[in-house]
């Protein structure tokens, strides 16, 4: 569990290193002298804290995985109040969780540089929505910095810390999936500071830090003064850059749209015909350079990803100044999905009155193969404990007479339970939503309700709604899937893992103890032991029908981590196979489990197990009605330890 620092992250100034966008953000934060970093893991932001955790012991600063984004924000913000430069990172929907403290932090301000990294996900590559978090800048009156590449992220993080310290104010740094998860060769500008400040002093300023209405009204005025100063004075590099001034046609490009704009104009051969305004401070948009450039412009095109945030500000600025230049934007640029060269190229052609369908490249066509590549929807891994658990709770429901239960779901690997044959996720809205929604349904429908939530998600946002069920006499069953890790985002530790972000041992917080302490009768199962677990879940269902508050914790290590641990420890796991003479071709193993290791040959008669994929969990052997699945390669005597 101890992180080994990657040497390239610690390279000296003058080195040229290939960095992931998130690693570039992390390196720049260290060069800026941060002493405190916190986050809750969420793609596409996760690698920021992972990189910082790798460097923490060598460099000498504090880093943690917090229980949720609000807690992470509060911790990092407190460090900045004590005079320690800090960073908090989260994915875009995580800012929703932290929004309460985000708003208040703008009123009280900071005492050291404080960066809030929001990694947005245009295109919903791994998220339930693609909200544009630049809006939070307006809502909270916090400036938003937006890079256009990993190398620009590296430079702009340092500029963002300077901005934060200049105004003693938080700054939102908005990355996106394409920037966070792209690699670029970056020339490191500065060495890592040798004496990073990790301890400070808290100044007891009641009027500033206690946001009662009387204090808040005064602080709001100060906050707006900062906001207006930024609008009037920050219209310069690196936040605004004017390229090729003097042309009557203007393109204003924000964030990653700038990178696509430069390439699109090269393809068009019209780069010299445009003045380009590169925007890296989209919120609030500085007025002066926009007025200066647009006053003589014949027409303006605003290119940005997702919502028309810069476009609306440009239109307002020109309206207020009485400038009648026509501004175009979302007429030509999509409101959803991430931008790419093709979309920007077509937008510029349409802006020019040209046929946008004509491009210098052929339209994208699906790759054709013979035989055709079959569709491959995401599936749970071979040996995944959730597969076992879903089988157990459904079989137990039938045995206990729990008819037609409604399964409310949550955010994690187990969301794949919505698929056949499991059908154990019938809602999935946000972190912790399974339990809150289950409570509401339990009050309004007749069917039994089972809330399915992962362990990390339970610590993140599942405890308050669990308390709510007990307090308000809800009738939902809480099912916690404990696989020891925040598995979906890369096996980061959480309070139930027993390790911190930098690999130090700490107290392991059992989910069942929390649930017991608030009034649930709790049943803990090991889903590897299918029959025993079914009987225990039947018992839990009976207690539920008798009117008790019931929770089930299903605990078994994530299969991916179990396989890693087995390899590292030199433990050989068992491998199962289907004995053809015993197999009747009933397809129970295929139809009930949907395990990727079990395949059906072209003749479609009898399934077989791919030994290279078998994780040795043994679920298939336990469900086969004809005992046709057996161990064909025994594991070591202590193989079970890899799963514990």
* Residue 281: C-alpha distances to residues 156, 332, 599 (Å): 10, 22, 53
Write the CB contacts of 322 (distance below 8 Å, at least 6 apart in sequence).
Answer: none
pLDDT tens-digit profile of 571-582? 999 999 999 999
The closest of 422, 486, 426 to 450, measured between CA atoms, is: 426
Which sign, positive or negative, has the C-alpha torsion 333, 339, 344, 346?
Answer: negative
**Residue 54, helix vs strand vs coil:** helix
**Paired residues of 254 in beta bridges:** 279
Spell 87-121 as b/e; 16+ CB within 10 A means b: bbbbbbbbbbbbbebbebbbbbbbbbbbbbbbbbb
Residue 156 has pLDDT above 90, yes or no: yes
Least Cα distance to 242 among 266, 280, 271, 276 occurs for 276
Supply φ then ψ for residue 356, to 5 degrees.
Answer: -70, -15
107 compared with 270, residue with greater pLDDT: 107
Q: In what order do the strands lie in the sheet with 249-254?
A: 240-243, 274-279, 249-254, 299-303, 326-328
Convert the pLDDT of each residue in 434-491 to its tens digit: 999 999 999 899 999 999 999 999 999 999 999 999 999 999 999 999 998 888 888 8
Question: What pLDDT is stored for residue 6 in this prediction?
Answer: 67
pLDDT at 393 over 90: yes
Tell me, what's the pLDDT at 218? 95
CATH topology of domain 234-351: Rossmann fold (3.40.50)
Domain 7-232, CATH among 3.40.50.920, 3.30.300.30, 3.40.50.970, 3.40.980.10? 3.40.50.970
The reply to whether the predicted model has a pTM over 0.85 is: yes
Centre a 10 Å sphere on the Cβ of residue 228 and count the other Cβ atoms it contains. 13
Nearest CA to 347 out of 364, 327, 329, 362 is that of 329
Q: Are 509 and 459 in contact (CB under 8 A)?
A: yes
| % residues pLDDT > 90 (the chain) | 78
Go through 444-478 and write b for each residue having 16 or more CB atoms within 10 A of its CB, e for each that does not: eeeebbbbbbbbbbbbbbbbebbbebbeeebbbbb
Q: Tell me, letter by letter, the H, E, C secondary structure of 520-577.
A: CEEEEECCCCHHHHHHHHHHHHHHHHCCCCEEEEEECCCHHHHHHHHHHHCCCCCEEE
pLDDT band at 399 (very low <50, low <70, confident <90, very high): very high
Whether the Cβ atoms of residue 532 and residue 394 lie closer than 8 Å to each other = no
Residue 372 scores a pLDDT above 90? no
Is the N-terminal amide bond of 368 cis, ω within 30° of 0?
no
Say how far apart CA 593 and CA 110 lie, in whole Å.
Answer: 53
- Mean local confidence (pLDDT), 506-535: 95
Count of C-beta atoms within a 10 Å radius of residue 372: 9
* pLDDT exceeds 80 at position 270: yes
- Architecture category of domain 568-643 in CATH: 2-Layer Sandwich (3.30)
Q: In what order do the strands lie in the sheet with 521-525?
A: 406-408, 449-454, 476-482, 550-555, 521-525
| Residue 63 dihedral angles phi and psi, to the nearest 5° | -145, 145
What are the boundaries of each domain within the chain?
7-232, 234-351, 385-556, 568-643
Tokens 């949720």 — which residue? 68
- Tally: H helices and E strands in the chain: 22, 22
- Name the E strands within 97-206: 114-120, 144-145, 171-176, 183-187
284: preceding bond cis by omega (within 30 degrees): yes
Tens of pLDDT, residues 125-154: 888 888 999 999 999 999 999 999 999 999
Same fold, 234-351 and 385-556: yes
Average pLDDT, the chain: 92
Q: Which of 4-18, 115-129, 271-285 has the lowest mean pLDDT?
A: 4-18
Token pair 């340092």: residue: 158
Give strand pairing partners of 172: 116, 144
Distance CA 280, CA 148 (A): 8
CATH 3.40.50.970 is held by the domain 385-556: yes
Per the structure block, which two tokens stand in for 235? Answer: 């219209």
Residue 278 DSSP symbol? E
Residue 5 predicted with pLDDT over 60: no
pLDDT by residue (tens digit) across 24-68? 999 999 999 999 999 999 999 999 999 999 989 889 999 999 999
Predicted local distance difference test score (pLDDT) of residue 363 = 66
pLDDT of residue 3: 47
Phi/psi for 341 (5° steps) reads: -60, -40
Cα gap 106→222, rounded to integer Å? 10
| Per-residue pLDDT at 2 exceeds 70 | no
């Amino acid at each position: 569990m101890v992180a080994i620092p990657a040497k390239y992250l610690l390279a000296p100034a003058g080195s040229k290193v290939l960095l992931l966008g998130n690693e570039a953000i992390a390196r720049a934060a260290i060069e800026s002298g941060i002493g405190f970093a916190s986050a809750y893991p969420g793609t596409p932001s996760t690698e920021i804290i992972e990189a910082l955790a790798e460097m923490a012991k060598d460099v000498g600063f504090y880093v943690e995985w917090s229980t949720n984004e609000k807690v992470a924000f509060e911790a990092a913000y407190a460090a900045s109040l004590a005079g320690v430069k800090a960073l908090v990172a989260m994915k875009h929907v995580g800012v929703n969780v932290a929004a309460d403290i985000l708003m208040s932090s703008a009123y009280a301000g900071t005492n050291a540089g404080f960066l809030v990294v929001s990694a947005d996900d245009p295109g919903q590559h791994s998220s339930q929505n693609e909200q544009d978090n630049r809006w939070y800048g307006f809502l909270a009156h916090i400036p938003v910095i937006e890079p256009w590449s990993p190398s620009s992220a590296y430079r702009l993080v340092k500029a963002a810390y300077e901005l934060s310290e200049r105004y003693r104010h938080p700054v939102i740094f908005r990355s996106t999936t394409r920037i966070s998860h792209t690699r670029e060769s970056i020339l490191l500008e500065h060495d890592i500071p040798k004496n990073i400040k990790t301890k400070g002093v808290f100044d007891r300023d009641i009027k500033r830090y206690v946001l009662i209405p009387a204090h808040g009204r005064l602080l709001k005025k100060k906050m707006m003064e900062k906001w207006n100063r930024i609008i009037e004075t920050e219209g310069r590099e690196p936040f605004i850059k004017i390229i090729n001034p003097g042309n009557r046609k203007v393109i204003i490009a924000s964030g990653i749209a700038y990178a696509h704009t430069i390439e699109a104009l090269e393809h068009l051969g019209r780069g010299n015909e445009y003045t380009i305004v590169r925007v890296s401070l989209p919120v609030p948009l500085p007025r002066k350079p926009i007025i200066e450039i647009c006053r003589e412009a014949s027409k303006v095109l605003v290119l940005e990803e997702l919502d028309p945030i810069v476009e609306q500000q440009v239109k307002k600025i020109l309206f207020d100044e009485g400038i009648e230049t026509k501004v175009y934007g979302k007429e030509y640029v999509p409101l959803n999905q991430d931008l790419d060269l093709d979309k920007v190229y077509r937008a510029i052609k349409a802006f020019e009155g040209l046929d946008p369908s004509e491009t210098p490249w052929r339209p994208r066509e699906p790759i054709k193969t013979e035989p055709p590549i079959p569709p491959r929807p995401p599936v749970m891994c071979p040996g995944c404990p959730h597969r076992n658990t879903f089988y157990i709770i459904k079989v137990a429901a039938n045995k206990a007479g729990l008819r037609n239960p409604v399964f409310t779901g949550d955010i994690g690997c187990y969301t794949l339970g919505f698929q056949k044959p499991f059908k154990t996720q019938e809602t999935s809205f946000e972190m912790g939503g399974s339990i809150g929604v289950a409570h509401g349904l339990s009050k309004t429908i007749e069917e039994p309700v089972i809330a399915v939530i992962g362990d990390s998600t339970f610590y993140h946002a599942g405890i308050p709604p669990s308390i709510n069920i007990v307090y308000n006499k809800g009738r939902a069953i809480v099912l916690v899937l404990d696989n020891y890790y925040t598995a979906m985002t890369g096996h980061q530790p959480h309070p139930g893992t027993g390790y911190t972000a930098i690999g130090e041992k700490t107290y392991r917080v059992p989910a069942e103890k929390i649930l017991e302490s608030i009034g649930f009768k709790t049943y803990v199962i090991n889903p590897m032991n299918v029959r025993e677990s079914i009987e225990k879940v039947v018992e839990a269902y009976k207690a539920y029908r008798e009117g008790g508050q019931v929770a089930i914790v299903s605990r078994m290590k994530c299969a991916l981590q179990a396989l890693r641990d087995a390899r590292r420890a030199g433990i050989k796991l068992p491998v199962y196979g289907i004995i053809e003479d015993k197999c009747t071709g009933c397809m129970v193993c295929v139809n009930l489990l949907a395990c990727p290791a079990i395949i059906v040959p072209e003749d479609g008669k009898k399934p077989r197990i791919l030994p290279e994929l078998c994780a040795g969990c043994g679920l298939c052997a336990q469900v086969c009605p004809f005992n046709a699945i057996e161990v064909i390669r025994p594991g070591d005597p202590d193989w079970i330890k890899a799963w514990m």
